[in-house]
Amino acid sequence: MSALVFDHVTKSFPHHSGARLLRERITDLMHPSRAQRIGVLKDISFHVPSGDGLGLIGPNGAGKSTLLNLACGLSAPDSGRIEVHGRVAALLELGSGFHPDLTGAENVRINAAMVGLSRRQTADRFEEIVEFSGVRDFIDEPLRTYSSGMMMRLAFSVAVHVDPDVLVIDEVIGVGDQAFFAKCLERMHRFQAEGKTILLATHSADLMSRLCQHALWLDRGRVVTSGPVQAVLEAYKSSQTDSAAAAVVRA
Amino acid sequence: MPAPRKWGGDLPFLLENLILKDFRIRYRNMSLGILWSLINPIVMMGVLTFVFGYVLGNNSIPAYPLFILCGLIPYNFFAGAVLSGTTSIVENAGLVKRVIVPREVVPVASVLSNCVHLGIQFCLLVAIALFFRLPPTRFWLWLPVVWSLYMIFVFGLALGASAINVFIRDTRYVVESFNLVLFWLVPIFYTFPVKYGVVYDFNPVAALVMAMRNILIDHHAPAASLVRNMVIAATVTLTLGAWIFQRLKIHFYEHI
């Protein structure tokens, strides 16, 4: 069974996002053609079977993060169909959903509630989450005193303890130290053995080959190639060296 | 349009946590903490009593400080809850963009956070009422009714305004200015002027103020027409606000 399906998904963003002045809005109304959209993902199709890991690679701005956001349901595609089976937990940005003035413990509870745990589940798993994160000594300190590594440990610990069916990770895992990294890997392997699915965007070929069976290479919003992780990573790496070599020649 | 993803979490637990979060962030670094919720209405009540009761000599209204408090508390709640509700989505961008959580909870929690202040101010209200020898009567049972209607009205406004504020950031300033004007257009320190009734008839804040005075000071039930108007205001506002929010929420991501 597929845990995650993307079927001809296309996504674009409006040209000037964010807050806009009244005068710009009026200009747009009078010249509708100027209000163009930027295509970020174009006709993306793939599916990830349960228990599988899919890695996304590609240069900055290729659309990896946008794809992860769509998978999480944080934004909606322009067209196409996205199907996700089960509960999704996301680690998209370091400290997202955390507040710097609250203590580690308070942040853990809020985050657990947001991911969908009940009061009882949160109470039951609280100890385990703190234990796994390894930041017990600082758990009653405000989060602003944490290093990014500590924050990541806590966020990761919450994400894996909420028992998600699909775990979506965007790069953040890189800030942990070796010991924690090993712990994360072990945990995620167990995770996959239980039939859970991982969707990961990273520039680390090492991490990807350890966690993912398949990979998807994105460039400027299109799938360049996809398939078994080693093959895609090889192809990506050789294209990188080619373009690097070309840059050297040009210089 | 794809169906919104099911969240399936514990909504009361989430709301409780979000309210606690607001509360802690607001008071953690303050020496007087929650007392600030009391100081503001007490000072306002004192100043308004002094200016309108003594300087301008409006002594005809009995229990004037309580009369003012019946106006201030609904007004304060409205001004605070609608403003924080309006800015809630934009200010919680990190949550809306990065955490899988139903977006409606953000403005709803923000309005509910203001209920903490409301509760404290209610204690003050009861104390002042007892001071003026106006102990609770059976008409107090109307309080939860009119306040529930009022809350629904405020939820509707907060939902609609928070969604619009994502696309038109001026909304926040419109709300601020509106609150300023509203202070004078709600009968906080004067009695309902029958002659200009039209200005007040469709104002749920004024309606609640009048209902509060009926209940606490005059000891009779609020007029049926007043309750009817509040029901209409609550239903229309919540329907409209929820509809606007529903329509706009899938575009939040691209605009904050």
* Residue listed under structure tokens 């899988």: B100
* Residue listed under structure tokens 């924050």: A151
The answer to whether A144 and A102 are in contact (CB under 8 A) is no
Tell me the C-alpha distance between A142 and A99, whole Å.
9
Question: Could A101 and B24 be called an inter-chain contact, meaning their C-beta atoms sit closer than 8 Å?
Answer: yes
The residue segments making up the domain with residue B21 are: 11-255
- Across the beta sheet with A214-219, the strand order is A88-91, A166-170, A197-201, A53-57, A214-219, A222-228
CA dihedral A120, A123, A127, A130 (to 10 degrees): 110
Residue A56 β-bridge partners: A201, A216
Long-range contacts, stretch B105-109, CB < 8 angstroms, 24+ apart: B105/B11, B105/B14, B105/B15, B105/B18, B106/B18, B106/B162, B107/B155, B107/B158, B107/B159, B107/B162, B107/B245, B108/B15, B108/B155, B108/B158, B108/B159, B109/B15, B109/B18, B109/B19, B109/B22
- Please give the tally of structural domains in chain B: 1
Model confidence at A162, in pLDDT bands (50, 70, 90)? confident
- Taking residue B5's Cβ as centre, other Cβ atoms within 10 Å add up to 16
Question: Has residue B26 got a pLDDT over 60?
Answer: yes
Best probe of the B interface among A21, A74, A119, by most B CBs < 10 A, is A74
**pTM given for the model:** 0.88
Q: In A, which residues are within 8 Å of B93 by CB distance?
A: none
Best probe of the A interface among B90, B100, B174, by most A CBs < 10 A, is B100
Question: Has residue A249 got a pLDDT over 80?
Answer: no
B169 vs A: CB within 8 A: yes
What's the one-letter identity of residue B205? Answer: V
Q: What is the pLDDT of residue B144?
A: 95
What kind of fold does domain A93-164 have according to CATH?
Helicase, Ruva Protein; domain 3 (1.10.8)
Strands of chain A, DSSP E: 2-14, 37-49, 53-57, 79-84, 88-91, 166-170, 197-201, 214-219, 222-228
| B142-167 and B204-213 helices, crossing angle to 10° | 160
Report which of B145, B160, B141 is spatially closest to residue B226, judged by C-alpha positions. B145
Q: What is the pLDDT of residue B108?
A: 96
List the domain boundaries for chain A: 93-164
- On average, the pLDDT of chain A sits at 86
Q: Alpha carbon of B38 to those of B33, B44, B48, B129, B130: distances in Å?
A: 10, 10, 16, 16, 17
Model confidence at B1, in pLDDT bands (50, 70, 90)? very low
- Please give the interface size between A and B, counted as residue pairs whose CB atoms are below 8 Å apart: 96
Tell me the C-alpha distance between A212 and B138, whole Å.
68
In a domain, residue B5? The reply is no
Best probe of the A interface among B6, B13, B167, by most A CBs < 10 A, is B13
In a domain, residue B3? The reply is no
Q: Which residues of B73-90 are buried (b: 16+ CB within 10 A; e: fewer)?
A: bbbbbbbbbbbbbbbbbb
CB within 8 A of B21, min separation 6: which ones? A99, A102, A106, A110
Tell me the C-alpha distance between B251 and B256, whole Å.
9
Least Cα separation, residue B255 to chain A (angstroms) = 4
Q: In A, which residues are within 8 Å of B21 by CB distance?
A: 99, 102, 106, 110
- On average, the pLDDT of chain B sits at 90
Question: Could A118 and B13 be called an inter-chain contact, meaning their C-beta atoms sit closer than 8 Å?
Answer: yes
Tell me the C-alpha distance between A206 and A215, whole Å.
13
Residue A226 β-bridge partners: A216
Question: Could B101 and A114 be called an inter-chain contact, meaning their C-beta atoms sit closer than 8 Å?
Answer: yes
Search chain B and give the residue with CA nearest A68. Answer: B98
Q: What percent of chain A has pLDDT over 90?
A: 43
Question: Could A119 and B169 be called an inter-chain contact, meaning their C-beta atoms sit closer than 8 Å?
Answer: no
Please give the radius of gyration of chain B, using alpha carbons only, rounded to the nearest integer: 19
Residue-wise pLDDT tens digits, A76-92:
899 999 999 888 888 88
B247 vs A: CB within 8 A: no
Q: In B, which residues are within 8 Å of A79 by CB distance?
A: none
B3 vs A: CB within 8 A: no
B7 vs A: CB within 8 A: yes
Residue-wise pLDDT tens digits, A215-225:
999 999 999 99
Alpha helix ranges (H) inside A61-145: 64-72, 104-115, 119-133
Q: What is the pLDDT of residue A93?
A: 82
Question: Has residue A133 got a pLDDT over 70?
Answer: yes
* Residue listed under structure tokens 């996002």: A17
Model confidence at B256, in pLDDT bands (50, 70, 90)? confident
A77 vs B: CB within 8 A: yes
Residue A168 β-bridge partners: A90, A199
Tell me the C-alpha distance between A15 and A1, whole Å.
38
User: Averaged over A198-225, what is the pLDDT?
Assistant: 91
Model confidence at A33, in pLDDT bands (50, 70, 90)? low
User: Averaged over A141-164, what is the pLDDT?
Assistant: 89
Q: Alpha carbon of A108 to those of A22, A175, A198, B15, B139: distances in Å?
A: 41, 19, 22, 15, 44
ipTM exceeding 0.85, yes/no = no
Model confidence at A235, in pLDDT bands (50, 70, 90)? very high
User: Averaged over A41-66, what is the pLDDT?
Assistant: 91
In a domain, residue B2? The reply is no
Number of residues that this document lists for chain B = 256
In a domain, residue B155? The reply is yes
A91: three-class secondary structure by DSSP: strand
Least Cα separation, residue A167 to chain B (angstroms) = 12
Residue-wise pLDDT tens digits, B42-94:
999 999 999 988 888 767 888 899 999 999 999 999 999 999 999 999 999 88
Please give the radius of gyration of chain A, using alpha carbons only, rounded to the nearest integer: 20
Q: Indicate the burial class of A188 (C-beta count within 10 angstroms; 0-12, 13-18, 19 or more).
A: buried
Question: Could B255 and A18 be called an inter-chain contact, meaning their C-beta atoms sit closer than 8 Å?
Answer: yes
Least Cα separation, residue A76 to chain B (angstroms) = 6
